[in-house]
Amino acid sequence: MSQCVSVIGSSSPLRMSLTTPNYPSSFLIRRRLSPIYLVEQQLMGLVKERWIEMWQTLKNVSLHAEFQFPSNKEDVVNMLWRQVKHKISKVSALFHRSAHRSDILLPHCVSGSLLPWLDLNYQYRQRSRSEMPLRLEIKRKLAQRSERVKSVDLHPTEPWILASLYSGTVCIWNYQTQTMVKSFEVTELPVRSAKFIPRNQWVVAGADDMFIRVYNYNTMDKIKVFEAHNDYIRCVAVHPTLPYVLSSSDDMLIKLWDWEKGWVCTQVFEGHSHYVMQVTFNPKDTNTFASASLDHTIKIWNLGSPDPNFTLEAHQKGVNCVDYFTGGDKPYLITGSDDSTAKVWDYQTKSCIQTLEGHTNNVSAVCFHPDLPIIITCSEDCTVRIWHSTTYRLENTLNYGLERVWAIGYMNGSRRVVIGYDEGTIMVKLGREVPVASMDNSGKIIWAKHNEIQTVNIKSVGADFEVTDGERLPLAVKELGTCDLYPQTLKHNPNGRFVVVCGDGEYIIYTALAWRNRSYGSALEFAWSSDGEYAVRESTSMIKIFTKNFQEKRSVRPSFSAERIYGGTLLAMCSNDFTCFYDWSECRLIRRIDVTVKNLYWADSGDLVAIASDTSVYILKYNRDIVSSHLDSGRSVDEQGVEDAFELLHEVNERVRTGIWVGDCFIYNNSAWRLNYCVGGEVTTMFHLDRPMYLLGYLANQSRVYLIDKEFNVVGYTLLLSLIEYKTLVMRGDLERANAVLPSIPKEHHNSVARFLESRGMIEDALEVATDPDYRFDLAVQLGRLEIAKEIAIEVQGESKWKQLGELAMSTGKLGMAEECMMHAMDLSGLLLLYSSLGDAEGISELASLAKEQGKNNVAFLCLFMLGKLEECLQLLVESNRIPEAALMARSYLPSKVSEMVAIWRNDLKKVNPKAAESLADPEEYPNLFDDWQVALSVESRVAETRVVYPPAKDYVNYSDRSNVPLVEAFRNMQIEDEQEPMENGDTIYEASEENGEEKSLEEGSQEEAVVVDVDSIDGAVLVNGSEEEWGMNKEGTPSA
């Protein structure tokens, strides 16, 4: 219900019914724009007597008697403000409240001394705002040289830019890799317009040859070519939902094409009397579109009607471009003309509401940005100008030196803007894509979509809804109100009662529940302290600090250029090279740190701070007691501050995008969009995010951390508070309390705890905590706990684990366990090594059988060969179809089997090459071809009985000094004798050996055959009983054993 004040001396209340020469008759302004808000709390809910008292105060604010209204309204504003600004804070007006807004009603002043008072206040506020630039960060993301670019477009899902060139080519650039990915040779004439049709993976292009062409940008196939107009095609526009394409041409016609009907022209729109330069669909009503023509007009059309709805005329020359306003409820469109101006129109009232002047040549392209409060105009004067869409102030001018500007492209939900020039293409990113949102400690989230403020409550998600990590929460959005400035940052104060919105060079503090403003002022940046005070940065040389009651407490002029400020336990003022920390109470320098700060995060305890730079994040401890002791002692503080105020605890070499503290745990997402947390310098990756997301906060009662994306989708991930507490206690060395917390951690998180303990070198504790068998096995092996590892291997029955355990057991000398493990792992090669090292003939024999069953022929062959079972070796080679190798082995070790092997070889070779098979020589048939053949047979028969004798491993020393000599070489011209060699010169061979110091002892009950070696033979050994025997020389030079 609205309230009114009866004017003194008047019989009825008046509501701004006032008429004065050269001045508006009513003054209705939003309360949030008024600088006299500070007395609102004294006015709300007061009885009529208090209103009358207020009105008396209002009457006392009078102007000089000689004051007269100047004819110029701006002079009125300036003069009135100078005279009443020192009194204005004492006055408030009446308030009329509705569902979403609060307005001020100006009471009528009988004396006439404050007639323009409220409008004065409004204009002063607007003028102050217009002096504050829109803080818009502009970064160039792509620069590509090319022929003249006539149109550009952005793909909604791929990182692609579509550019049509004056040379007749259409190119697709990847702005992430900075490379051209596709190119279409359309025609030899200019292609003035090309657009993506993402639904069908198409590109549609219109050219000066009057044809429209459609391509599939995946397969590069040409889908359709047809003649569309009788003159140059200036523009093509794609309907956002229907299968329609509009085209405009120099033939003064606009045509509608339906691709579902075979690209038939379903409608022609006539009405322009000159070239139709551009057409565009209305995003709020896709049944209507606008056209711009060189006949100086803009026409609004309806699909289905050949005649325009109405025509807008105001430009002095031809109109080149037109675009609709997509945000909010304003029925605006903008046009650019050859008269070097751009005009903003209200198409409902059909009036021009603003003319943007500043370009010095034709305006060739214009747009309302869909996400930012800006208008972008492009001109043939080589510049791109950015204007504020509310104040129409020129915010920035871009000139990249690529000559004239012809086209601009943008996309909903993106801050990227692409610009086409005479000499190439430029892409820029405007502002940050971080959503303007904040969450308090209870889970209430407030965010800003343009100027609209909305709120959601995470606790509103029902208990029956199963929350999954990374899944979007079904939150009910509630409209909270609006904001009169464009929000660039939004932040709750520490207790969550108030929310500050900062943007357009101003700040406004609102109540979080009812969205009522409590204070406001000028600010480039705003920072809350940990106890509710706040600071604002009005410029690089002025910082103001305010109390919890919104009263200014102190003004600070730093001795350096303050580019940023951050709140928290201390107030941080940052230059481009260093950061200075000050206390909130007296603004005394605490410490200067030489690091370029990109963001700064304080823990709730006030003892830890994370300083994020471009490449690293530094975790520092704030020594509060040392600082207090230093300041209380009265000692001076130099320009570096208190030396031991901060202590560097950890440095993490990652770029932090957003971060929050939960106790002593710092949670952040990095440049690779991984969600990590850091405790005691140890970084743990929680999740890999599938898209850019930004941290909102942590709810301890749900043990979940919440994030938001740029589309304002909220997701949560589990992070147990007990887990964080446990890791914190371990880092502090308080293992007793940590072990007390451990039972409260769910079993499924024990492996994470174990890995943390392992990273701290507490491997035994990790083994006790871990639950994953594979991980416990690795820890047991690492500790050398073979019995525990064996139990796990029996439970898991993994071949790799048995093999790993077997190798470890062998290396530690536990040969029994090694044999068991290798048998479980079927590690036949390992068993062969083990048995041969032990001289275990029985084991080798069993291994040979097992290897044959497993098809491990190499291992089986080695086992049989070591056992001296040469016949079985030959049989194994034949069975494995390695007959040539069998024949060669028989020639070397079993000459008696050569004929049999050659016969088998011949029969097998006949299947492939009969001639080659016949060329194989059998030593039985051609003994003359085989040297010493009879000697070989004789040696075989002599050593056959000794091949099955296996010396034990302990006798290895007795055989180790025997070397190998080829049998034929060793036994050439040999003579086998049944008796001992006769004496020569009265000495036996044995005695001769003794004289040479080569005495050989013979075991009792055994006698070896003596072999005489020719004197020309090389000193060597022969193979006897499967072992090497070294031979000595008698005095006559005859070899003897």
- The three-class DSSP label of residue 195 is strand
> Per-residue pLDDT averaged across 774-782, rounded?
82
> Per-residue pLDDT averaged across 263-278, rounded?
93
Q: Is the pLDDT of residue 28 over 50?
A: no
Amino acid at 580: C
**How far apart, in whole angstroms, are the C-alpha atoms of residue 271 and residue 289?**
14
Question: Rounded to a whole number, what is the distance in angstroms from the first to the last CA of the chain?
Answer: 129
Signed CA dihedral, 651, 653, 656, 660: sign only: negative
| One-character DSSP codes across 124-175 | HHHHHHHTSPP---EEEEEEEE-S-EEEEEE-SSSSEEEEEETTSEEEEEET
Question: How confident is the model over 205-234, as pLDDT tens digits?
Answer: 999 999 999 999 999 999 999 999 999 999
Amino acid at 359: H
Q: Do the two domains 139-430 and 437-667 of this chain adopt the same fold? A: yes
**CATH number belonging to the domain at 139-430, selected among 3.40.50.720, 2.60.40.10, 1.10.3720.10, 2.130.10.10:** 2.130.10.10
- Please state whether beta strands 674-679 and 665-670 pair in parallel, antiparallel, or not at all (unpaired): antiparallel
**How far apart, in whole angstroms, are the C-alpha atoms of residue 228 and residue 207?**
10
- The three-class DSSP label of residue 499 is strand
Cα torsion 197, 201, 207, 212 to 10°: value is -90
| One-character DSSP codes across 597-614 | -SEEEE-TTSSEEEEE-S
What lies within 8 Å, CB to CB, of 487 at 6+ separation is 436, 448, 451, 453, 501, 502, 503
Poorest-confidence range of 222-236, 354-368, 776-790, 1000-1014?
1000-1014
Question: How confident is the model over 926-957, as pLDDT tens digits?
Answer: 888 887 777 778 777 777 766 766 777 677 67
**How far apart, in whole angstroms, are the C-alpha atoms of residue 341 and residue 346?**
17
**How far apart, in whole angstroms, are the C-alpha atoms of residue 249 and residue 265?**
14
**How far apart, in whole angstroms, are the C-alpha atoms of residue 716 and residue 458?**
10
**How far apart, in whole angstroms, are the C-alpha atoms of residue 420 and residue 152?**
6
Poorest-confidence range of 261-265, 526-530, 740-744, 775-779?
775-779
**How far apart, in whole angstroms, are the C-alpha atoms of residue 1013 and residue 1022?**
10
pLDDT the model gives residue 946:
66
Strand order in the sheet with 222-227: 191-197, 202-207, 211-216, 222-227
**How far apart, in whole angstroms, are the C-alpha atoms of residue 195 and residue 212?**
11
Say which DSSP state 877 is in.
H
Binning the chain into helix, strand and coil, the percentages to the nearest 5 are 25, 35, 40
In the numeric block, the tokens 């075989």 are attached to 940
Buried residues in 74-84 as b, exposed as e (16+ CB within 10 A): eebbebbeebb
Poorest-confidence range of 210-219, 280-289, 310-319, 915-924?
915-924
Q: Is the pLDDT of residue 843 over 70?
A: yes
> Per-residue pLDDT averaged across 255-281, rounded?
94
pLDDT the model gives residue 371:
84
pLDDT band at 959 (very low <50, low <70, confident <90, very high): low
Q: Is the pLDDT of residue 686 over 80?
A: yes
Residues 560 and 544: beta-carbon distance below 8 Å: no
Q: φ and ψ at 382, to 5 degrees?
A: 75, 10
Residues 582 and 569: beta-carbon distance below 8 Å: no
Note the CATH architecture for domain 437-667.
7 Propeller (2.130)
> Per-residue pLDDT averaged across 451-472, rounded?
85
Residues shown for the chain: 1041
pLDDT band at 204 (very low <50, low <70, confident <90, very high): very high
Amino acid at 980: Q
Q: Is the pLDDT of residue 2 over 90?
A: no
**How far apart, in whole angstroms, are the C-alpha atoms of residue 238 and residue 197?**
7
**How far apart, in whole angstroms, are the C-alpha atoms of residue 361 and residue 399?**
14
Query: Domain coordinates of the chain in residue numbers?
Result: 28-130, 139-430, 437-667, 869-930, 951-1040
pLDDT the model gives residue 133:
58
What lies within 8 Å, CB to CB, of 289 at 6+ separation is 237, 246, 279, 280, 281, 282, 300, 301, 303
**How far apart, in whole angstroms, are the C-alpha atoms of residue 714 and residue 696?**
9
pLDDT band at 246 (very low <50, low <70, confident <90, very high): very high
**How far apart, in whole angstroms, are the C-alpha atoms of residue 297 and residue 308?**
12
Amino acid at 614: D
Question: How confident is the model over 131-189, as pLDDT tens digits?
Answer: 455 667 788 999 999 999 999 999 999 999 999 999 999 999 999 899 999 999 999 99
**How far apart, in whole angstroms, are the C-alpha atoms of residue 176 and residue 494?**
39
**CA-based radius of gyration for the chain:** 47
What lies within 8 Å, CB to CB, of 45 at 6+ separation is none
> Per-residue pLDDT averaged across 591-620, rounded?
94
Q: Over the chain, what is the mean pLDDT?
A: 79
Structure tokens at 879: 């069975």
Q: Of 662, 658, 571, nearest to 608 (Cα)?
A: 662
pLDDT the model gives residue 914:
85
Q: How far is CA 325 from CA 9, 328, 446, 815, in A?
A: 49, 8, 25, 82
- The three-class DSSP label of residue 622 is strand
